[in-house]
């Protein structure tokens, strides 16, 4: 049996830990709680560990051979600084040429590499804080620990990356 005091305390805890909680019936509360705690979130944010600058939405992260995690977002170049890699090398179809850093604070976010002749930004999860829709923040050392699904890189994603790069290069050439 629930006492009125216990019910109020539970609602207070839910409101404190899950800001998106709006109240409602007991059934609604239970459904919200289960969704917020146990289900992977589809629209998390990857934010810079140092300055909290947005890097990417979790929906824009893709995996290549379950090893490399890239961002397929056309607005990412506006949030990064690209510098030459101190030790460029090639391996497994990848050519790493440059390093990417946060534009606001200079935090190392990963590398810019070429995969199958397409430039990609490969990010490392250790440089980010993951924020879910309930505003819960988590930090992971490994990609396997993130609480959102990461889709495999598709052919459509590759075509989008080529299109983004073509547009970026044409904008740069138009400015010069």
pLDDT for the residue 41:
42
> Can you read off the two tokens belonging to residue 63?
């995996």
* Domains of the chain by residue range: 4-33, 51-175
Rounded to whole angstroms, the Cα distance separating 137 from 12 reads 20
> Per-residue pLDDT tens for 8-17?
544 554 455 4
More confident residue, 176 or 74: 74
Which pTM was predicted? Answer: 0.70
pLDDT higher than 90, residue 24: no
CATH number 2.170.150.30 is the correct assignment for the domain at 51-175? yes
Rounded to whole angstroms, the Cα distance separating 55 from 31 reads 31
> Per-residue pLDDT tens for 70-106?
998 888 888 999 999 998 899 888 999 899 999 999 9
Rounded to whole angstroms, the Cα distance separating 100 from 84 reads 9
CB-based contacts of 152-160 (< 8 A; 24+ apart in sequence):
152/62, 152/63, 152/64, 152/66, 153/62, 153/63, 153/64, 153/70, 153/72, 154/62, 157/62, 157/72, 158/116, 158/118, 160/72, 160/74
Q: SS in 3 state form for 137-151?
A: EECCCCHHHCCCCCE
First to last CA, the chain: 73
Rounded to whole angstroms, the Cα distance separating 108 from 73 reads 18
């Amino acid at each position: 049996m629930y006492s009125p005091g216990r019910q109020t305390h539970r609602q207070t805890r839910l409101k404190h830990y899950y800001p998106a909680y709006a109240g409602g019936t007991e059934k609604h509360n239970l459904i919200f709680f289960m969704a917020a705690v146990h289900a992977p979130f589809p629209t998390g944010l990857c934010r810079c560990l140092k300055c909290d600058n947005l890097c990417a939405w979790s929906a824009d992260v893709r995996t290549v051979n379950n090893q490399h995690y890239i961002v397929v977002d056309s607005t990412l170049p506006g949030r990064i600084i690209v510098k030459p890699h101190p030790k460029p090398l090639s391996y497994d179809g990848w050519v790493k040429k440059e390093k990417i850093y946060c534009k606001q604070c200079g935090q190392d976010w990963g590398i810019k590499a070429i995969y199958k002749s397409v430039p990609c930004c490969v990010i490392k999860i250790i440089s980010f804080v993951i924020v879910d829709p309930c505003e819960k923040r988590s930090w992971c050392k490994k990609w396997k620990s993130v609480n959102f699904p990461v889709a495999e890189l598709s052919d459509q994603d590759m075509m989008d990356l080529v299109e983004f790069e073509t547009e970026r290069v044409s904008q740069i050439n138009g400015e010069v």
